[in-house]
Amino acid sequence: MWGTIATWRMAHDGVIAAKDILAGNGDCKDAVETAIRKVEDYPYYKSVGFGGLPNERGIVELDAAFMDGDTFQIGAVAGITDIANPIAVARKLSLDTFNSFRVGQGATEYAVLEGFERKNMLTPRAKKIWEKRLAEIADKKLNPYDGHDTVCAVALDQKQSMAVGTSSSGLFMKKSGRVGDSPLSGSGFYADSAIGGAAATGLGEDLMKGCLSYEIVRLMGDGHTPQAACDRAVYGFDQQLRNRLGKAGAFSLIAMNNQGAWGVATNVEFTFSVATERQAPSIFMATPGPNQTTVIEPITQEWLDA
Amino acid sequence: MWGTIATWRMAHDGVIAAKDILAGNGDCKDAVETAIRKVEDYPYYKSVGFGGLPNERGIVELDAAFMDGDTFQIGAVAGITDIANPIAVARKLSLDTFNSFRVGQGATEYAVLEGFERKNMLTPRAKKIWEKRLAEIADKKLNPYDGHDTVCAVALDQKQSMAVGTSSSGLFMKKSGRVGDSPLSGSGFYADSAIGGAAATGLGEDLMKGCLSYEIVRLMGDGHTPQAACDRAVYGFDQQLRNRLGKAGAFSLIAMNNQGAWGVATNVEFTFSVATERQAPSIFMATPGPNQTTVIEPITQEWLDA
């Protein structure tokens, strides 16, 4: 059995590429990196990699992480700049015993020294959106924060190894050096090849309050299906946050176990893409259902056209 | 009931100061900040705050985090420089809905704009140790990494609120921008006033593989005593790491539940300090015992003298 699941419709082409690797008996780590690179490289996705929206100063600061579910090895970067593929940097860092999570200038320097491709990640389109928003904020005092669609991919290969990766430009108009959940183990991602993997997209500041990726993997390890684990962790914590803090930001989680079964849960409208040995690559839409369940439907041609 | 527990003997004076706050019906958040500030301010502790050992370039980069167990609010900084009390910055950030985790230059700028005390955190003593190590490395090609004693404090106040904080200068001779577990929710710390709190010290790269602070709080929520939760999480994960990765770095965890009961577990020799309504402030030594247990003994005058 093999399979992969990834966040948001933007990941669909990456899922198709990952599927080819996995179906050909390739490695789950290559599948994860390939899926995420596709999203990083595409200039019209505004929350990941090239074309991602910048921080309040117009600088595109990127976060990414990679985890090997066989060994628990983790690599991560936060606030990296001018590097084409943060996911590849995170993957390489995961092989280091020390210094495997690097932030800011130190992360960028590591990537440069290791020969990763440099690139001005601010596209003219992203710059225009940023300038427009600056003007809106000045005029109407709008809340400057908006958009936090991380790409995450979980993959299972035919050797029953699992890996997970994340990549994000973070909150649009974030403060310099702001970090969300994407590079944070347990909050943004977690994988254990003996159980399964999970990853998150949404408001990082709230996701790190709940360690939901770790919790979902743990629940799967306790015998829950991926769907039951997602429902229990996501809706349970959403309720906890509303009770304790009075509010909960948007968040959506994906999971796959080491049998290729998958699940998602979300407190908003959330699209994702999935492919397994039993299921052709497909995009679905998830929304919160009644009684802490999730409604999952194939997306329609109508939705895609709009 | 009130209580506080903190990592390493260096935290003892801080625990005594926190005890005065808690016994006087003060707030657990003030207790945590006070305990950790004491360690940050003391020039002869080589792994925290002022006097902490620098990175490979001689720059003291500091990590810290703060979590309110009532609301799950978290603030954190990583790679902050020239700021006297990173724990105070983390605490203030925990009040922000967005941008509550800041790294590198962005973290330092936030602290400066908010008026936190600036300070050259490199003491002449720390600089000498760094220069000596550089020479040793050049001469004998020693492993440059050594030392990662984070100060962590968990506190319970008489209103049954809990908080946790961490502060560290990270690995001595770390690469620029390296981040350990200390600012990472779930790995370095976690608190839920309905259950308890936990925090970690040790090799951050391994601690973030296990999310042990979250797991210990979760186990306490399942009905385990703090000691049983620590033993189970720490020795279980130490074994997992040895099986999967072939090795496990040093790590030690502390925990307290919302009744003031406490526990610790460690895979090395580990000192800590604790004070509760029932227990006068005391320093203990913990070592791994047989069958996934922990041996805890009061430290002797002989040990203190040496």
pLDDT tens-digit readout, B224-251? 999 999 999 999 999 999 999 999 999 9
- Does the annotation list A71 as a binding residue? no
Measured between alpha carbons, how far apart are the two ends of chain B, in Å? 35
A98 and B211 within 8 Å at the Cβ level: the answer is no
* B98 interfaces chain A, CB cutoff of 8 Å: yes
Read off the pLDDT of residues B148-181 as tens digits, 9 standing for 90 and up. 699 999 999 999 999 999 999 999 999 999 999 9
* In the predicted structure, residue B144 carries a pLDDT above the cut 90: no
B186 and A110 within 8 Å at the Cβ level: the answer is no
Nearest in space to B227 (alpha carbons), one of B260, B261, B195: B261
Measured between alpha carbons, how far apart are the two ends of chain A, in Å? 35
Distance of residue B67 Cα from the nearest chain A Cα, in angstroms? 9
Chain B residue nearest residue A104, CA to CA: B104
* In the predicted structure, residue A147 carries a pLDDT above the cut 80: no
Q: Residues of B with catalytic annotation?
A: 150
- Does the annotation list A180 as a binding residue? yes
The SS3 assignment for B137 reads: helix
Distance of CA A298 to the CA centre of its chain: 21
Secondary structure (DSSP) of A237-276? HHHHHHHHTS----EEEEEEETTS-EEEEESS-EEEEEEE
Phi, psi (5° rounding) for residue A163? Answer: -145, 160
Read off the pLDDT of residues A199-254 as tens digits, 9 standing for 90 and up. 999 999 999 999 999 999 999 999 999 999 999 999 999 999 999 999 999 999 99
Q: Given strand B62-68, what is the order of strands in its sheet? A: B101-103, B74-80, B62-68, B162-168, B151-156, B3-7, B270-276, B279-288, B294-298
* In the predicted structure, residue A145 carries a pLDDT above the cut 70: no
Bridge-based pairing of strands B74-80 and B101-103 is parallel
Domain ranges of chain B: 3-305
Bridge-based pairing of strands A62-68 and B279-288 is unpaired
* B30 interfaces chain A, CB cutoff of 8 Å: no
Average pLDDT, chain B: 96
Read off the pLDDT of residues A21-79 as tens digits, 9 standing for 90 and up. 999 999 999 999 999 999 999 999 999 999 999 999 999 999 999 999 999 999 999 99
A205 and B179 within 8 Å at the Cβ level: the answer is no
Lowest pLDDT segment from A54-58, A121-125, A133-137: A133-137
Read off the pLDDT of residues B197-222 as tens digits, 9 standing for 90 and up. 999 999 999 999 999 999 999 999 99
Residue pair A66/A87 in contact (Cβ under 8 Å)? The answer is: yes
Q: How many CB atoms lie within 10 A of CB A297?
A: 10
Task: Work out the percent of chain A whose per-residue pLDDT is above 90.
Answer: 93
Chain B residue nearest residue A179, CA to CA: B101
Distance CA A35, CA A11 (A): 7
**How high is the pLDDT of residue B300?**
80
Can you list the positions of beta strands (E) in A82-223?
101-103, 151-156, 162-168, 189-192, 196-202
0.85 surpassed by complex ipTM? yes
Region for A60 from its dihedrals, namely left if φ exceeds 0, alpha if ψ lies in -120 to 50, beta otherwise? beta
A178 and B245 within 8 Å at the Cβ level: the answer is no
Contacts of B288 (CB under 8 A, 6+ apart): B235, B265, B266, B267, B268, B294, B295
Phi, psi (5° rounding) for residue A230? Answer: -65, -50
Read off the pLDDT of residues B47-79 as tens digits, 9 standing for 90 and up. 999 999 999 999 999 999 999 999 999 999 999
A72 and B99 within 8 Å at the Cβ level: the answer is no
**How high is the pLDDT of residue A101?**
98
B101 and A72 within 8 Å at the Cβ level: the answer is no
* B174 interfaces chain A, CB cutoff of 8 Å: yes
Residues 211-230 of A with CB under 8 A from B: 211, 214-215, 218
Read off the pLDDT of residues B84-119 as tens digits, 9 standing for 90 and up. 999 999 999 999 999 999 999 999 999 999 999 999
Fold observed for domain B3-305: Glutamine Phosphoribosylpyrophosphate, subunit 1, domain 1 (3.60.20)
Residue with tokens 């207790």: B31
* Residue numbers in B near A109 (CB within 8 A): 176-177
Chain B residue nearest residue A182, CA to CA: B184
* Residue numbers in A near B105 (CB within 8 A): 104-105, 176-177
Distance CA B286, CA A8 (A): 47
Q: Which amino acid is at A298?
A: P
* A92 interfaces chain B, CB cutoff of 8 Å: no
Distance of residue B30 Cα from the nearest chain A Cα, in angstroms? 20
Question: Which of A62, A174, A208, A238 to mutate to test binding with chain B, by most B CBs within 10 Å of its CB?
Answer: A208
* In the predicted structure, residue A81 carries a pLDDT above the cut 90: yes
* Residue numbers in A near B210 (CB within 8 A): 72
